A and B are shown apart, each in its own frame.
Chain A
Amino acid sequence: MSLLEIDELTVEFPTRQGAFVAVDGASLSVEAGQIHGLVGESGAGKSTIGVAIMGLLEKPGHITGGTISLKGEHISGLNTAAMQALRGKQISMIFQDPLTSLNPLLTIGDQLTETIRAHLNLTQDEANQRAIELLELVRIPDPKTRITQYPHQFSGGMRQRIVIALALCSEPDVIIADEPTTALDVSVQAQVLALIKELAREKQVGVILITHDMGVIADTTDVMTVMYQGKVVENGLTSQVLGQPKHAYTQSLIAAVPRPNERMHRFPLVSYGGRTQDFQIDDLARNWNKTEIDANQPLFEVSKLTKRFLKKSALLPSSQEYSTAVDEVSFNIQQGEVFGIVGESGSGKSTIARMIAGLYGVDGGSILFDGKPVTGVKDLSDYRRQIQMIFQDPYSSLNPRMRIDAIIGEPAKHHKLLSGKALQKRVDELLEQVGLTAAAGKKYPHEFSGGQRQRISIARALATQPRFLICDEPTSALDVSIQAQILNILKDLQEHLNLTMLFISHDLPVIRQMCDRVGVMQGGIMVEQRETEALFTNPQHAYTQELLSFMPQLKGI
């Protein structure tokens, strides 16, 4: 008998168009002391399983079939009171975002003791003592003082550890962790995952780890279940599933994961579910006004670039406080190369991209484009015509109130490159070339998926035939299979159109696949800058070495 057994679970959400089946006959089982990875792309139904186990499905969603049993007893279909007694006591849950999981108005001590006392028959003092022990267990330094503090006084990683302490309050048998590290930086992510792993072993807790990240699955879990469109497609020991995937979907998923240890020419696209769309690079290249590459002349010369942000505003300029987001960063970008900038959140990498794009003013240093200055210059229209940008979030980079053809046509129209029929023709061509149809132009952004939107974003960037493309985390909001498609497109563009690129990412494997040279940012400073392969095989700076050590190794793939 397993600790937690899910058998043929089906969850439906009634909608206007009929019932939406979020989970379709899924079965899996969790043993004590075992970490069970639940992996799948967005909308695969993995989070819904977690919520269904807790009995916290949002109305009108409900279980329409199958059973969930804990230690052999059915818990699906229990009434509210019985479920409440079970929650926290035997099953706990950890949510994705530690910033919103804690009540901002109560001290962490209050939140811990109320949870402890809700489940264990202890006095306030005993509960307090136990709370301190729990904080020690999750390695919060100086727990006796910190227990009286409020959530906003802790960093993101510490808050997630407090959330874990809360989940452990009553020694539960099962913990469901829903993307527990997605909102955290890699270094913090590694610590939190190590903690979860250790607790599972020591306390013999069964953990369901819900994630979209193959790296997390490979490094942390013992057993894994792969989901696709509400169905379980494959499960087994993690090493087996990753090493010899049987199902075609698992194979395509694993093929799309960027490898940390080798550079591939293109991602092998194993098509599944007929979702790959063709990118017609030849068609695009035929009509492109290519600028010949002059290897001696760098396209960008960036020197001592500095940006400060106002931290505290005051009436007197002297008492205003600034934080330095980018501190005297210098680098060159050669014509036709892809220059990568990698770093954790807040390291200043996006700020650099925005200064180069002319979106932010510069507080010091200079940028030369093709030998001509672009900082401190009034009229940038000539420069703006030659650069374009692909943004991070495909859901926010397209104006929801504009039609696709207007969105794609806007840059060319603004720069007065094309108008009327010629513009419409260009827009239609671009849509076909990025793998959509001309008819898509008549629709609005919400009618497209994330990957399709990113293709539209690319079409918009290409409409003015730019020489330089800034990619600011272009795939971090996308599922891996879509990420592989988009990265392949970007590689095609660079090779066939002689495009120069600045590629910003926090994801080291992606950087390795995409970039010729890389700069590593830490706290506004560029600590290291080298050829990509040299950086990965032989990092010089201590921070680079640390970052690389946190990189998931994808053992067994």
Chain B
Amino acid sequence: MFNYILKRVAQSGLVLLVVGLVAFSMFRFVGDPIDNMLGQERTVEDVERLRTELGLDLPFIVQYGRFLGDAVQGNFGVSYRQGRPVSDIIIERAPATLELAVVSAFLAISIGIILGVFTAIRRDGWLASVIMTTSLIGVSLPTFLIGIVLIYIFSVDLGWLPSFGRGEVVQVGFWSTGFLTKSGWLALILPAITLGLYQMTLIMRLVRSEMLEVLRQDYVRFARARGLSERVVHFRHALKNTLVPVITVTGLQLGSIIAFAIITESVFQWPGLGLLFINAIQFVDIPVMAAYLMLISVMFVTINLVVDLLYVFIDPRLREGGL
């Protein structure tokens, strides 16, 4: 088991190195960093000075090493567009995105699993059919359309909830939170539903199909043949086996929530990392793009690592076979 964990950690490190290489290559080769930083009016001395300062005269591998070293310390250089250190901008923006992501992920996973189990167990019931059909509409509705529809109904038409921004925020240390004010919560409702809805339908459909698959297995048939009650068969035998594949995909879905936050933030003008990133792409602000890429890959890799470890706790077959 220890080997297994060690192997996973090593793999995660490798992934981060590769992503770092992509981020660095972007920084180094997409456009000329000097052009981007100095603009039109510059002297030869300026160029030379900056070149040495940035280490562009060093061998590639050394530059990559320095980039990684800087990245570990949270130093991603200066935004081309805003002229401020990227790390400052990210610290300022991160709380908004994380709060949004956590609330939507909670909604998506809890409701998704409950509905998935329900539709699998009652698969011939009318309510399950209604939920399944609705979910297909959910999958077909692009996130931004969900956001627009919600804004139209609850902000434009009914005027109940704000259509943009995060409301009043309270500064707790470096963290700016919207959880402590009423307007903060009100502003969170629509974006959180928008972001969570799509993931929820995906998780629900996945749980349903995995559970149906498990319910067809011999050991479920045998459990029924032994006269165990349907409740025990469903929740003791089937659910646990369903969770094994569901956990992987749910892990991936959590990653998607952070990515889809870009869309939600754009629709609701939510001042988070996603909005920052989409603006960076429009203006080819490479340091911000690179930093964002590194940051979320650390998040993704961590999520995946946690998922792998969860497996070990659920599946006894992984526990003692070294794998």
Contacts and interface: CB of A to CB of B under 8 A. Distances in A.
B227 A84 contact: yes
Contacts of A95: 218, 221-222, 225
Interface stretch (A161-169, A327-335, A535-543): A161-169
A100 interface: yes
Q: Which of A56, A89, A114, A167 gathers the greatest number of chain B CB atoms within 10 Å?
A: A114
A101 B222 contact: yes
Interface string B191-223: 000000000000000000000000001111111
Nearest to B226: A88
Indicate the size class of the contact surface on chain B: 20 to 34
A152 B219 contact: no
B226 A104 contact: no
Interface string A142-157: 0000000010100000
A88 to B, nearest CB: 3
A377 interface: no
Indicate the size class of the contact surface on chain A: 20 to 34
Contacts of A105: 240-241, 244, 314-316
Contacts of B43: none
B229 A84 contact: yes
A109 to B, nearest CB: 13
A150 B317 contact: yes
B232 interface: yes
A203 to B, nearest CB: 17
Interface string A190-225: 000000000000000000000000000000000000
Interface string A78-101: 000000111111001101010011
A340 B307 CA distance: 51
Contacts of B236: 106, 114
Q: Which of A85, A93, A103 gathers the greatest number of chain B CB atoms within 10 Å?
A: A103
A87 B237 contact: no
Given A104-B317, A114-B236, A163 B222 contact: yes
B10 to A, nearest CB: 12
B228 interface: yes
B270 to A, nearest CB: 41
A169 B316 contact: no
A102 B219 contact: yes
Contact of A114 (B220, B228, B315): B228
Contact of A88 (B225, B230, B317): B225
Nearest to A54: B225
Contacts of B217: 100
Nearest to B232: A114
Given A114-B232, A150-B317, A100 B226 contact: no
A118 interface: yes
Contacts of A166: 222, 226
Given A118-B232, A150-B316, A104 B241 contact: yes
B66 interface: no
Contacts of A170: 227
B51 interface: no
B224 interface: yes
Interface in A85-143: 85-89, 92-93, 95, 97, 100-107, 114-115, 118-119
Contact of A115 (B218, B228, B240): B228
Contacts of A150: 316-317
Contact of A119 (B223, B225, B227): B227
Interface string B292-323: 00000000000000000000001111000000
Contacts of B316: 104-105, 107, 150, 152
Given A104-B241, A105-B240, A106-B237, A87 B218 contact: no
Given A114-B236, A115-B228, A103 B317 contact: no
Contacts of A92: 225-226
Interface string B232-259: 1000110011001000000000000000
Nearest to A112: B226
Contacts of A86: 227
Interface of B: 217-230, 232, 236-237, 240-241, 244, 314-317
Given A95-B221, A100-B218, A103-B237, 7 more contacts: A86-B227, A87-B227, A88-B226, A97-B218, A103-B241, A114-B232, A169-B226
